[in-house]
Chains A and B, each alone.
Chain A
Amino acid sequence: MPEPTTSSSAVRQVTVPTKVNATPQKAANAPAVARPIIEIDDVDFNYGAFKALQDITLNIASKEVTAFIGPSGCGKSTLLRCLNRMNDLVDGAHVSSGQIRIDGVDINDPRVDVIELRKRVGMVFQKSNPFPKSIYENITYGLRIQGEKRKPRLDEVVERSLRGAALWDEVKDRLHESALGMSGGQQQRLCIARAIAVEPEIILMDEPCSALDPIATAKVEELIHELKKDFTIVIVTHNMQQAARCSDHTAFFYLGRLIEYAETRTIFMNPGNPQTEAYVSGRFG
């Protein structure tokens, strides 16, 4: 193990930095986001005593794709799961300081109904998780638990969501067959369709393509590009080309801190921080 160092010359020789370069906060959240829908304000996050995120401040623009990149364990998935409070499921996990606001409302306020929040902030998981029900039941799941029973309305939502997820033509003849009979890429797009069926404003995607082959990945990326018109998308990815291809803004995390946040082009072409440059050029991570 080489001596931990923060000097940028050491980063250039394939060393994994074990500390982060202190970047001034202003530089970190540089892009003046025009219409922020999500405001993350100086957030610290703990799993019990372990501090997983520290001093995270960034604003996420409405109807844009924002990518979170960084090596495993850097906290990007944790931050994503803060946005719809999926971390509530983990014992001892909590935001220990700071605020996360969506449309100006602090989502960790005790008065906030987490069920309402999750309806507005949908999520697509790393491992596609279609329920072992029919395709139709998968799509209508969200509406049914909200009490929607009218068949025409459900039919309409199924068609609209599947079209929205570019899946309609492939599955329209087998809506009532098990969703587990679909290919991996189709399953993941079904999960996206299921998420948009409840008409959220924001869709969180946690490495949605990590288990897919390049062709299925291309389809999902194309879909992300389409969805951007109607939804705000936050995507966590290990694949830097993917972040470069489909996002408008990119945030680079390392060791629980936000190292750099800028327009995607800037992050990849002209990063302000040597660690960002080392990571995006594949020298570590």
Chain B
Amino acid sequence: MSTPRPTATALFARPSRAKRIEQVVAWMLRLSTYFVLLCAAFIFYDIGTKGGSVIFRTSAPFINVPFLTQSPETLNVFERDGQKVTMGDQEFRKYKAEHAEQMKNVHPETYVYSAGGIFPNIVGTVLLVTGSIFIALVLGVLSAIYLSEYATEGPFIRFLRLSIVNLAGVPSIVFGLFGFGMFVIAMDMGVSLLAGWLTLAFMVLPIIITASEEALKAVPKGYREGSLALGATKFQTIMSNVLPYALPGILTSSVLSIARVAGETAPIMFTAAFVVRDQMPWEVQKFTDFFFQGVMALPYHIYVVASKIPQNEYTRDVQYGTAFVFLFTVAAIAMTAVVLRVRLRKKYKW
């Protein structure tokens, strides 16, 4: 018995089971992507609007300058003539001295860090990021050059590479504790910029080494051979005819690293960050003290203001404002690297 010949509609019109599955899968993939996008958009919207209202002003100079240029202060809230008044600590003391009679029985509510600005934190984060990225790039690129150009492939080098890749998976708090034990205590650096730099640099080294090695390996062999055949040494060849072409790739990895270094709280809370510090980083007795001072930093400040002080209308500004400035600072540093990369790409097109 032969099966009847299917009609044209049966052949082309009815979606088969495989086709339905195909459509469902496509939509699931699409929706999960949209969901991620939606979450990210919500975070940026929330911080952007609430933080933006702290930073931007409707009248000239349109930016909340004190928030960006002052140090954090304690906020005092008290009642005067039936109205709530908020004042920063310095202002409050002055006011209290002037109106001693009136203020005798006033006990203000205080909220730490909720007045003033976050200038020292911005400075601290920029210092931490630039220093650690510099250390990580120098160490990372040198190691990558060794691995890609000089090392002879073998079990030991493979083991070395595996260790480096695994290092990337170590939680940041472990790096923080390592830095604390190694640099702060064993090497007696104290809670300092230098200890923070080294800890953060070690945290991002795996990313930088791996990406730099890939970037170096992507440079065509012909450039190396051509250079060597002209009588260049291996080192001359690498410096003038391999590394420049790999730089854009190396900088791409450093953009990722910058975001990580700037954002991590765990590695610096034991090694470099102070909750509060009155002096600015450049107010040091002698040059070497610069490296051995702790700094305030944005991520740690966010942690403190988000978890250690009550959440209410008075503290909200500093919380959202700090988060906003933090996002902006990271984006600005990363942008610099992106611009540098684009310029290099243009210069060495291949």
Contact = CB atoms under 8 A, between A and B. Distances in A.
A56 B134 CA distance: 53
Given A89-B225, A180-B350, A129 B230 contact: no
B342 interface: no
Contacts of B230: 118-119, 122, 141-142, 145, 194-195, 198
B229 A123 contact: yes
Given A86-B225, A86-B228, A145 B240 contact: yes
Interface stretch (B231-239, B268-276, B326-334): B231-239
Given A127-B222, A145-B240, A118 B231 contact: yes
Contact of A145 (B220, B222, B236, B349): B236
Contacts of A122: 229-230
B229 A86 contact: yes
A84 interface: yes
A161 B71 CA distance: 65
Contacts of A84: 229
Contacts of B241: 131, 141
Contacts of A144: 240
B231 A146 contact: yes
Interface in B207-262: 220, 222-233, 236, 240-241, 245
Contacts of A131: 223, 226-227, 241
Nearest to A146: B231
A195 B240 CA distance: 17
Contacts of A132: 223, 245, 348-350
Interface string A114-150: 0110110011010101011100000001101110000
Given A91-B153, A180-B349, A129 B222 contact: yes
A46 interface: no
B279 interface: no
B349 to A, nearest CB: 6
Nearest to A204: B229
B70 interface: no
A100 interface: no
Interface in A199-253: none
A145 B234 CA distance: 11
Contacts of B163: none
Indicate the member of A122, A141, A178, A180 with the most B CB atoms within 10 Å: A141
B349 A178 contact: yes
A198 B348 contact: no
Indicate the member of B152, B223, B232, B349 with the most A CB atoms within 10 Å: B232
B154 to A, nearest CB: 10
B237 to A, nearest CB: 8
B322 to A, nearest CB: 44
Contacts of B220: 129
A125 B225 contact: yes
Q: How many residues of B sit at the interface, in one of the four size bands?
A: 20 to 34
Q: How many residues of A sit at the interface, in one of the four size bands?
A: 20 to 34
Contacts of B245: 132
Interface in B152-195: 152-153
Interface in A79-108: 84, 86, 89, 91
B222 A115 contact: no
A191 interface: yes
Contacts of B225: 86, 89, 123, 125, 129
B232 A145 contact: yes
Nearest to B220: A129
A265 B59 CA distance: 92
A247 B153 CA distance: 40
B226 A129 contact: yes
B223 A115 contact: no
Contacts of B236: 145
B217 to A, nearest CB: 15
A119 B236 CA distance: 14
A145 B224 CA distance: 14
Interface in A60-93: 84, 86, 89, 91
A86 B221 CA distance: 12
A281 B245 CA distance: 45
B339 to A, nearest CB: 20
A41 to B, nearest CB: 24
Given A129-B222, A178-B349, A116 B228 contact: no
A191 B223 CA distance: 11
A274 B79 CA distance: 113
Contacts of A129: 220, 222-223, 225-226
A191 B226 contact: yes
Contacts of B349: 132, 178, 180
Contacts of B152: 91
A180 B241 CA distance: 15
Interface in B334-350: 348-350
Contacts of B233: 115, 145
Contacts of B232: 115, 141-142, 145
Interface of A: 84, 86, 89, 91, 115-116, 118-119, 122-123, 125, 127, 129, 131-133, 141-142, 144-146, 178, 180, 191, 194-195, 198
Given A118-B231, A145-B230, 5 more contacts: A116-B231, A125-B229, A129-B220, A180-B349, A195-B230
Closest 8 CB pairs of A and B: A129-B222, A119-B231, A132-B350, A142-B230, A123-B229, A129-B226, A118-B231, A145-B232
5 contacts: A129-B222, A131-B223, A145-B230, A145-B232, A198-B230
